[in-house]
């Protein structure tokens, strides 16, 4: 008599530009799509309760969510570390606390990225065998598939073995959550050829060659977008710069195109004529499909979404947290990194 599998996700309903409504709408969509989901909606109870019916959180869904009160929210002006002192009662901290206490399997937040990282690292703690948790961006590539780029900002100066760990964690996530069988894993470098790169990346690549992983060698900046790799590992400094550059460039190009279409009546007609094609192209590149960046290597699942997330992105982020829980991504990470460490240990002693 198997117990029905229920996975419990704590959603910080107060974080993000469109909070709380887009968060509640995303929650509703996720509950409807995933019968195995239970949601803790963490936020200001007085503010949330009147919005529930309005956002469809009613009827038979009512038994599958609960409001957990949190008195404050981390604002964009607050420091990431404010959750440790001034804002202990913030929604992101309370949500993380639910995971720590075993009341939830994962936490999802669209609020202050730094605060969500601090909450996940300090409240949840680091998985055994993991040297440093890292943030993975799930980027849409030109093949219409996701490329996992990690670390994108949790760690600045990284050692080779840490970058190798990022690659392993990214590979497990890509397979378990994104459904990519045998993900092709690369280390970001400045040339495809073996031996190119910095001392750090060469050693990271060397460490990955001998382990049970589909290691495909050095990746270059262009490979983030062409679909040649499924997972690309780098230090958090490079990853953060790449992510912010790409966001700004893509947004600038899209804004420029929109400007062209708005010039006059004829160009507005042109916009109408291309609308379907533009929508299809945009859908292939829609980050909302993937919902958020997992912070990998912490105890419990943590998905950190973009502040601008809409309901669809919230739903996708919750789905990602659910799948990471179901596929036991953390158990796999612990097992893989444990094997790696025992290999390294036996090599050292042999």
Residue 118's Cβ-side half-sphere holds a number of Cα atoms within 13 Å equal to 19
- For its own copies, the binding residues in 280-309 under the rule CB under 8 A are 280-281, 284-285
β 134-140/215-219 pair status: unpaired
CB of 225 to its own copies, least distance (A): 4
CB of 292 to its own copies, least distance (A): 19
Phi and psi at 12, nearest 5°, equal: -75, 100
CB of 22 to its own copies, least distance (A): 23
CB of 275 to its own copies, least distance (A): 9
Q: With contacts defined by CB under 8 A, name the span among 53-61, 207-215, 273-281, 314-322 that binds its own copies.
A: 273-281
Angle between helices 160-176 and 199-209 (to 10 degrees): 50
Judged by CB under 8 A, the residue of 53, 71, 273, 283 near its own copies is 273
Judged by CB under 8 A, the residue of 21, 71, 76, 257 near its own copies is 257
Judged by CB under 8 A, the residue of 246, 312, 334, 341 near its own copies is 246
CB of 150 to its own copies, least distance (A): 14
Judged by CB under 8 A, the residue of 21, 33, 53, 253 near its own copies is 253
| Residue 247 in the binding site for its own copies (CB under 8 A) | yes
- For its own copies, the binding residues in 161-190 under the rule CB under 8 A are 188, 190
Judged by CB under 8 A, the residue of 157, 181, 348, 350 near its own copies is 157
- For its own copies, the binding residues in 137-156 under the rule CB under 8 A are 141-142, 153, 156
Here the tokens at position 199 are 């001392």
Q: How many CB atoms lie within 10 A of CB 31?
A: 21
Q: With contacts defined by CB under 8 A, name the span among 5-13, 249-257, 317-325, 331-339 that binds its own copies.
A: 249-257
- 3-state SS track over the chain: CCCCCCEEEEEECCCCCCCCHHHHHHHHHHHHHCCCEEEEEEECHHHHHHHCCCCCCCHHHHHHEEEEECCECCCCCCCHHHHHCCCCCEHHHHHHHHHHCCCCCEEEECCCHHHHHHHHHHHHCECCCCCCCEEEEEEECCCCCEEEEECCCCCCCCCHHHHHHHHHHHHHHHHHCCCCCCCCEEEECCCCCCCCCCHHHHHHHHHHHCCCCCEEEEECCCHHHHCCCCEEECCHHHHHHHHHHHHHHHHHHHHHHHHHHCCCHHHHHHHHHHHHHHHHHHHHCCHHHCCCEEEECECCEEEECCCCCCHHHHHHHHHHHHHHHHCCHHHHHHHHHHHHHHHHHHHHHC
- For its own copies, the binding residues in 197-236 under the rule CB under 8 A are 197-199, 201, 220-226, 234, 236
| Residue 238 in the binding site for its own copies (CB under 8 A) | yes
Is the Cβ of residue 70 or residue 164 nearer to its own copies in the bound state? 164
Is the Cβ of residue 6 or residue 269 nearer to its own copies in the bound state? 269
| Residue 250 in the binding site for its own copies (CB under 8 A) | yes
Is the Cβ of residue 126 or residue 198 nearer to its own copies in the bound state? 198
Size of the site for its own copies (CB under 8 A): 56
CB of 144 to its own copies, least distance (A): 10
Give the footprint of its own copies on this chain (CB under 8 A).
141-142, 153, 156-157, 188, 190, 197-199, 201, 220-226, 234, 236-238, 240-250, 252-257, 259-261, 263, 266-267, 269-271, 273-274, 277-278, 280-281, 284-285
């Amino acid at each position: 008599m198997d117990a029905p599998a229920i996975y419990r996700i704590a959603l910080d309903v107060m974080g993000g530009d469109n909070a709380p409504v887009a968060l509640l709408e995303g929650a509703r969509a996720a509950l409807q799509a995933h019968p195995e989901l239970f949601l803790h909606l963490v936020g200001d109870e007085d503010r949330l309760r009147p919005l529930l019916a309005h956002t469809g959180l009613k009827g038979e869904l009512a038994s599958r969510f609960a409001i957990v009160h949190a008195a404050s929210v981390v604002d964009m002006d607050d420091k990431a570390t404010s959750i440790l002192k001034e804002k202990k009662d913030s929604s992101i901290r309370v949500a993380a606390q639910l995971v720590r206490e075993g009341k939830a399997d994962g936490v999802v937040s669209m609020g202050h990225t730094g605060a969500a990282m601090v909450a996940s690292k300090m409240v949840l703690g680091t998985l055994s065998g993991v040297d440093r948790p890292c943030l993975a961006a799930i980027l849409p590539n030109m093949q219409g598939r996701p490329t996992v780029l990690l670390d994108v900002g949790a760690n600045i100066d990284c050692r080779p073995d840490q970058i190798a760990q990022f690659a392993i964690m990214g590979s497990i996530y890509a397979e378990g959550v994104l459904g990519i069988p045998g993900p092709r894993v690369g280390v970001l470098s400045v040339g495809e050829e073996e031996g190119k790169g910095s001392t750090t990346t060469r050693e990271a690549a060397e460490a990955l060659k001998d382990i049970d992983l589909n290691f495909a060698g050095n990746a270059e900046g262009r490979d983030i977008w062409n679909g040649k790799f499924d997972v690309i590992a780098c230090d958090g400094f490079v990853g953060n710069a790449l992510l912010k550059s790409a966001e700004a460039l893509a947004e600038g190009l899209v804004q420029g195109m929109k400007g062209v279409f708005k010039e006059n009546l004829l160009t507005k007609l042109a916009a109408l004529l291309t609308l379907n094609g533009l929508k299809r192209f945009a859908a292939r590149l829609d980050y909302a499909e993937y919902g958020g960046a997992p912070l990998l290597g912490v105890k419990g699942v943590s998905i950190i979404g973009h502040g601008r997330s809409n309901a669809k992105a919230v739903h996708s982020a919750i789905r990602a947290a659910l799948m990471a829980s179901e596929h036991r991504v953390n158990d796999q990470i612990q097992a893989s990194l444990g094997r790696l460490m025992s290999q390294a240990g036996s090599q050292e002693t042999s």
